[in-house]
């Protein structure tokens, strides 16, 4: 369903207002037609939820996003706000919880995150903060737990660096590297006692290679492999005494066979 209104742009081009349905959502926007008859957005743009409330509203200049953008929850409460310049994000952006309390905030420069970014919980307490340069993590990044203590910390250069997570008492809980905000390489988790709880591998945020879990006594608890982010081949589960408990065979991430090794030991592979 399409409808339109009329207006005149300062340069003499006729401005029309079109209303249409896009994937079940009503949208309306101002536009003019170029010499080839193509519709060029110019002025306001709004998309609505099925209940009629606005989902997003923004503005265009000669077919390019330019000016303020605001997004909303279906309830009508503000979800985010920011602005574009020449089609890319620019200046301060902020996101909100549905009660409109601030969730996160930071700045964009030429479409990339720049400077200090801060994240908050629903009570307004800071839960994370760090800096960006040219869209990548730089310097120190910190996460906080509910009591305000540091729950994790990392230091980055050009988006790459080591992250360490902590228990409430300050003991190391997990450590590994991030590259461009994605886990990369080996990640090791620890029990509060300091003994290894698991060893995992990632490549550009995707699960890969051998994964192993341990009991606190050092005995292997489980082991298996990931390929391209999906479980692959044989996965084994063990008891605290080392006995095989279960064998699961995966194919492209799907479990195709599960064997109880305690009742069918001959079926569990060596």
**Structural domain count of the chain:** 2
Q: Is the pLDDT of residue 226 over 60?
A: yes
Does residue 112 belong to any structural domain of this protein? no
Residues 6+ apart with CB under 8 A from 252: 230, 232
pLDDT score recorded for residue 197 = 98
Rounded Cα distance, 189 and 173, in Å? 6
Does residue 14 belong to any structural domain of this protein? yes
Does residue 7 belong to any structural domain of this protein? yes
Domain final residue pick, 69, 89, 109: 89
Q: Which pTM does this prediction carry? A: 0.85
Does residue 232 belong to any structural domain of this protein? yes
* 186-201 pLDDT per residue, tens: 999 999 999 999 999 9
pLDDT score recorded for residue 2 = 41
What's the CA angle centered on 207, arms 112 and 126, to 5 degrees?
A: 45
* 146-168 pLDDT per residue, tens: 999 999 999 999 999 999 999 99
Does residue 241 belong to any structural domain of this protein? yes
Domain final residue pick, 40, 57, 89: 89
The pLDDT confidence band at residue 4, using thresholds 50, 70 and 90, is very low
Return the closest-CA partner of residue 221 out of 191, 257, 201: 191
Contact 33, 39 (CB under 8 A): yes
Does residue 129 belong to any structural domain of this protein? no
- Domain containing 257: what range? 208-270
Mean pLDDT to the nearest integer, 87-106:
97
Cα separations (Å) of 205 from 4, 130, 177, 179, 252? 46, 20, 10, 8, 18
Residues 6+ apart with CB under 8 A from 38: none
Q: Which residues of 146-175 are buried (b: 16+ CB within 10 A; e: fewer)?
A: eeeeebbbbebeebebebebbeeeeeebbb
Does residue 15 belong to any structural domain of this protein? yes
The more confidently predicted of residues 6 and 97 is 97
Residue 96: count of CB within 10 angstroms of its CB: 20
Domain final residue pick, 74, 89, 104: 89
Does residue 54 belong to any structural domain of this protein? yes
């Amino acid at each position: 369903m399409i409808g339109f209104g009329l207006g005149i742009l300062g340069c003499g081009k006729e401005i029309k207002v079109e209303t249409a349905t896009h994937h079940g959502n009503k949208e309306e926007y101002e536009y003019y037609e170029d010499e080839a008859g193509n519709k060029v957005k110019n002025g306001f743009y709004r998309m609505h939820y099925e209940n009629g409330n606005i989902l997003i509203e923004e503005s265009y200049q000669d077919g390019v996003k330019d000016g303020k953008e605001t997004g909303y929850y279906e309830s009508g409460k503000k979800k985010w706000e920011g602005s574009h310049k020449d089609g890319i994000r620019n200046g301060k952006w902020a996101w909100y919880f549905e009660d409109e309390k601030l969730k996160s905030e930071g700045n964009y420069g030429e479409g990339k995150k720049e400077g200090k970014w801060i994240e908050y919980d629903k009570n307004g307490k800071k839960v994370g903060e760090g800096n960006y340069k040219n869209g990548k993590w730089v310097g120190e990044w910190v996460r906080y737990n509910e009591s305000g203590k540091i729950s994790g910390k990392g230091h980055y250069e050009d988006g790459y660096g080591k992250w360490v997570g902590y228990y409430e008492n300050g003991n190391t809980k997990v450590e590994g590297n991030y590259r461009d905000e994605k886990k990369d390489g080996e990640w090791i988790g620890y029990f509060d006692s300091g003994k290894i709880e698991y060893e995992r591998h990632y490549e550009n945020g995707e699960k890969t290679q051998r994964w192993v879990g341990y009991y606190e006594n050092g005995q292997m608890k489980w082991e298996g492999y990931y390929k391209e982010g999906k479980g692959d081949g044989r996965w084994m589960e063990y008891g605290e005494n080392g006995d095989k408990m279960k064998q699961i065979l995966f194919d492209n991430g799907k479990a195709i066979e599960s064997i109880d090794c305690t009742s069918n030991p001959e079926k569990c592979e060596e």
